[in-house]
Amino acid sequence: MTILVTGAGLVGTSFAREAITRGEEIVFFDPEPRASFIDFKLGPGKAALVRGDVRDLPALLDTAKRHKVNAIVHTAGLIGGRVQQSLSQAFDINLGGTRNVAECMRLLELRRLVHISTFGVYDTRRPVSGEVDESFPRGAGRGYGNLKAAKELLLEAYADLHGFELIMLRPANVYGAGHFWSGSSGGAKMQALLEAGLSGAKARIASAETMANEYVYARDMGRAIDLALTVKMPAQAVFNIGNGYVSPFEDVVAAVRRHCPSLAYVVEPGPPPKSKSAPLSIAAARQHLGWTPLFDLDAGFADYLGELKAMKSFQNPR
């Protein structure tokens, strides 16, 4: 099977690792495909790289046809603060690009689409009691979450009308060795802490990023996507993917310090943090996808540090 992956960042490459291990062919469609990053993550020449923008439907269709694509994993889009910088541009990339992915599914009669949404779709203005399951109301008011909710609604309508299989994953804050071009401030925070711990420099953390939050390690996220692509179409189509617990910032720092005791950081002044008050329920992913997280923060950071060291050696060979 050949799988088109929109977006060649942390999430897309984490999935590709799993798929390539099973013998699948991967084609990345990305406006800035970083060949050295992809080669490090997957091995040189393990995936085809196509420079393209999801706003360009003819280019997306041409890529899928030329590579005889069977399914799509859609990760491309702007994240968090980058959405707030320009709602108009984010609308075109996130919502317009998702429409083009849906059109590609329709026109080429592809079998399955796995769409990467976010726990940011949930309306955090509403009171929460217990874990947040997939039935919790969508739309939190800000651009990123609202556009993600709109993407889900759009894809649901396309899948219902045109009959392709759709699975949507709502991950917690994904962390792992990446480049964070799309704007994941939470992922960049984790990397800044670990890189500072390795180098002895002082990490600079925005005040807003000291919130209590739920995280999921990239390797766990990659497995979840691979399962979503390969399992028999389940009874439900939307799944939370997280660790199942909320970690205060102090717990994140403590976990890093267990591996990097000399970690130093400073919190820069700015908007106050807005903490998560309840974790995601991951019961449905466990039941229907057979997925559970293998990495808690300690195990995730141990693996992450090893990858950061390997990445530096790969990028700066002696």
Among residues 44, 46, 274, which one has the least CA distance to residue 5?
Answer: 46
pTM, two decimals, is 0.95
Predicted confidence (pLDDT) per residue in 103-162, tens digit = 999 999 999 999 999 999 999 889 888 999 999 999 977 878 899 999 999 999 999 999
pLDDT digits (tens, 9 = 90+) for 245-296: 999 999 999 999 999 999 999 999 999 999 998 999 999 999 999 999 999 9
Q: Within a domain: residue 31?
A: yes
284 within a domain of the structure (yes/no): yes
Cβ contact 2:27 at 8 Å: yes
Residue 219 within any structural domain of the chain: yes
Is 8 inside any structural domain? Answer: yes
Domain count, the chain: 1
Q: Is residue 201 situated within a structural domain?
A: no
The domain containing residue 284 runs over which residues? 2-176+214-243+278-294
- Tokens for 77, please give them: 């889009």
Phi and psi torsions of 156, nearest 5°: -60, -40
Question: Does residue 35 sit within a domain?
Answer: yes
> Would you say residue 184 lies in a domain?
no
Residue 187 lies in a domain: no
Provide the pLDDT for residue 90.
86
CA distance 125 to 171: 19
pLDDT of residue 315: 65
CATH number, residue 146: 3.40.50.720
String of DSSP letters for 53-89 = -TT-HHHHHHHHHHTT--EEEE--S--THHHHH-HHH
